[in-house]
Structure 1
């Protein structure tokens, strides 16, 4: 195991203080907390270590860690690509059945862990901006990275829950009774943070690791943001910036290399180093792979009607989908390592990658009636998958049919990654069409997750989403 030095251990301890909820902050002695923050933010080395601690927390916190209570798992269950192997886990079954109770513990895990990350980034931003000793250029680099992480976190909160409290400080007196903020205002703040981060950050991966946020990372999320807000020209422009950076990014020809650490396709990844333990596999690999010997641990399977969507020659079927005979189940095999203690770490959790940018630009172009341009981008993805080109099969395809094909390729390309399918169905008004025939519990009010009941008990100003 790669040892942590004393300074990094100290910063992990300090950062753990930042992860306390606003309610827990009531118990802290403000003078002691202030001394800790001054210690962290009075030199560049400790600030860099604190920022590394934030990245490490993304591997720990439920919403972002790719494990049982992550957006990847739970939003995946809400859609139509994956399902539970066992029906005895009632909490996860509620996500699969779109019947989530407000007291569901996994739902609380998403919410509370996301707000813990927001509290961490707010604390970090306050410390950076209040520091009188740090170099201004250095402060901008650190500020931009933290702002991105905050925007990224709010992006998922807003898309899963709709209106949510907008917390931009560490003032627990103000935060503990915060009202829900309209989603459009949350989006305004997301864009504001992303725009500032884009101005402040360089284009380098300073450490050589694609686990660090840079200008390209920001542009990738901005492209998705503009796609979701139907600003087609900006979505095309931003995704084009990433696609044109062919010296830095490229699609991996071998699909088995896509999810490797620092893959050329990766725009942003999360390293398992954040687990601070002896294991070095990703949570996605550990949770989704059905190991042939330890298959009794298996919890998630791919839905058979999803697997049947793939052509037999599709390389994604052949490389990214496994089959376990004892469970008679297909499983997610994008990550190949179920368990590891090896260094260097071979796989990182993928968050943003180039293939999504091609699909963003294809959709944005299609929505602007640039059919030829959309086909060209989509065929890059189809060709990598070993499929015949749409330009040859149907060059005169109409816009509506082309959009159906784009969403189908998004489903096949991005399955089991950060809830893409669930969010795609929602933003395109395809959810009822996709789910209501197979799910007798489906109601349109299921589009938003419930505000956790324990949070509403603590904060009487939190209203509940319709239908709960």
Structure 2
């Protein structure tokens, strides 16, 4: 193979992934990664192109792209939000019925594409460390964004699978035989990477596009981490810092403007352009909207029990839930465009301001700051057209308020990055909520199985209990 061909392969397959999805980091040829720092990072322009490639891969990958094997879809099927459109679709029914098998190809797609993104993040970080040619500004930016992305992916892996291999290099031999690391060790790495991102990233968005992580994106995600670790005071401080940036972020009154490109509610979004095809709609729009004529193409529908949980006056019901008369099924309608090749108008939402209000409400409630928590919760309820808790129940107690916060999280954040599934798990009531409708439920179902192909490839991997 000629040198130029090798370099091209490295930039496209190892780092950039501009147009295709690499699905198994263990299969990358050993010699290729050794070229990274000498070629891909020879100047600022090429290094920044590699960073663009990382974001493009996030937009295209199974795990993060909002498509049929994404965390958004599979975690919603596992909770009480989505159901498969067809009960004959066995891979989806396994998630829905909590009868997930280790050879489920959707689960394998989820795992391998997540580790591919981690591999690319590691390659960027190694390239930054080894390069003597890039400027300090570019070096700082690449390190901050790559470490944020690595932390972001590991957060989902540890919550979906429990103990997972903590891969921090591109060394093939080390990665191929990696063992699973304790959850606490993974969280320590997540927080370390996020703190580095916070220290390095600037507050401005590149070219006004909210498709790259900035300082406040890292702070917002750290607020979520502290919430999950029950560090209530830290979660409140961090979410408050984001909420205070009123010149940059705001809760939009019009629900149908929330998911538009560069919405002021957006903290981080993904552009469909990054996928490298000619479609300008989001994967979420394509997957969730039931075509008015060709409904047989549909794959998902909203759980009718979830739809019934909305009050009739809730604007989220009328604006974010669609109805298909011919099938009488409801579907997620946060994204309005199912299929388009014209100008991009919607970006896939990853982090948004509403979550920060809900994080702070929960953190405040857990510190017995009831009035502060009610104020934050009412910010979300007011936009939804619901009665304010401050008016209808001014003497509300902590436990009742927390239950309302969890219900608002379910209705506000549905079909966004698995929030409901992860909330049920961290609160500890997954079985209580899902067990009645799923008699076969077992407590070990809170974790997905380690994919069978990975167990066959790596003899040091062990399977989760119950599989």
TM tier, shorter chain? over 0.9
- Find the residue that maps to 1:64 and give its secondary structure: coil
The Cα shift of 1:34 comes to 3.4
1:385-464 matches, within 5 Å, as 385-464=384-463
Q: 1:17 aligns with which of 14, 21, 28?
A: 14
TM-score (norm 1): 0.95
Per the alignment, residue 307 of structure 2 pairs with 307
Structure 2: distance between partners of 1:95 and 1:59: 23
| C-alpha spacing 1:459/1:364, structure 2 compared with 1 (3 Å) | same
- Find the residue that maps to 1:281 and give its secondary structure: coil
Q: Deviations over 1:61-115 (max 9, x none)?
A: 1110111100000000000011111011111110000111011111111110000
The Cα shift of 1:453 comes to 1.0
1:51-450 matches, within 5 Å, as 51-343=51-343, 345-450=344-449
- Unaligned runs of at least 5 residues, structure 1: 1-9
Structure 2: distance between partners of 1:21 and 1:324: 38
Per the alignment, residue 5 of structure 1 pairs with none
The Cα shift of 1:393 comes to 0.6
The Cα shift of 1:287 comes to 0.3
Structure 2: distance between partners of 1:419 and 1:150: 18
Per the alignment, residue 18 of structure 2 pairs with none
- How many pairs were matched up? 455
Structure 2: distance between partners of 1:265 and 1:41: 35
Structure 2: distance between partners of 1:36 and 1:427: 39
Q: Deviations over 1:199-226 (max 9, x none)?
A: 0110110221101011011011100000
Structure 1: distance between partners of 2:248 and 2:93: 41
CA contact (8 A) 1:335 1:347 kept: yes
The Cα shift of 1:13 comes to 7.2
Structure 2: distance between partners of 1:233 and 1:270: 30
- Find the residue that maps to 1:132 and give its secondary structure: coil
| C-alpha spacing 1:11/1:55, structure 2 compared with 1 (3 Å) | farther
CA contact (8 A) 1:56 1:274 kept: yes
The Cα shift of 1:39 comes to 2.0
Q: Deviations over 1:308-327 (max 9, x none)?
A: 11111110001000100111
The Cα shift of 1:48 comes to 1.1
Q: Deviations over 1:341-373 (max 9, x none)?
A: 012x10000000000000000000000000000
Structure 2: distance between partners of 1:379 and 1:33: 51
The Cα shift of 1:33 comes to 4.5
CA contact (8 A) 2:24 2:113 kept: no
CA contact (8 A) 1:11 1:49 kept: no
Q: Which range moves more in the overlay, 41-50 or 150-159? A: 41-50
The Cα shift of 1:12 comes to 9.0
Per the alignment, residue 6 of structure 1 pairs with none
CA contact (8 A) 1:211 1:271 kept: yes
- Find the residue that maps to 2:326 and give its secondary structure: coil
TM-score (norm 2): 0.95
The Cα shift of 1:185 comes to 0.3
Per the alignment, residue 19 of structure 2 pairs with none
- Find the residue that maps to 1:227 and give its secondary structure: helix
Structure 1: distance between partners of 2:418 and 2:40: 35
Q: Deviations over 1:411-444 (max 9, x none)?
A: 0000000000000000001111110111122111
- Unaligned runs of at least 5 residues, structure 2: 1-6, 16-21
| C-alpha spacing 1:260/1:295, structure 2 compared with 1 (3 Å) | same
CA contact (8 A) 1:11 1:53 kept: no
Q: Which range moves more in the overlay, 329-338 or 84-93? A: 84-93
The Cα shift of 1:168 comes to 0.2
CA contact (8 A) 2:323 2:329 kept: yes
The Cα shift of 1:37 comes to 4.1
The Cα shift of 1:128 comes to 0.9
The Cα shift of 1:40 comes to 1.5
Structure 2: distance between partners of 1:189 and 1:204: 26
Structure 2: distance between partners of 1:74 and 1:11: 34
Structure 2: distance between partners of 1:13 and 1:130: 16
- Find the residue that maps to 2:206 and give its secondary structure: coil
The Cα shift of 1:20 comes to 6.7
- Structure 1 ranges of 4+ moved more than 4 A: 10-13
Q: RMSD over aligned Cα, in angstroms?
A: 1.3
| C-alpha spacing 1:70/1:221, structure 2 compared with 1 (3 Å) | same
Per the alignment, residue 3 of structure 2 pairs with none
The Cα shift of 1:11 comes to 7.5
CA contact (8 A) 1:12 1:50 kept: no
Structure 2: distance between partners of 1:23 and 1:119: 9
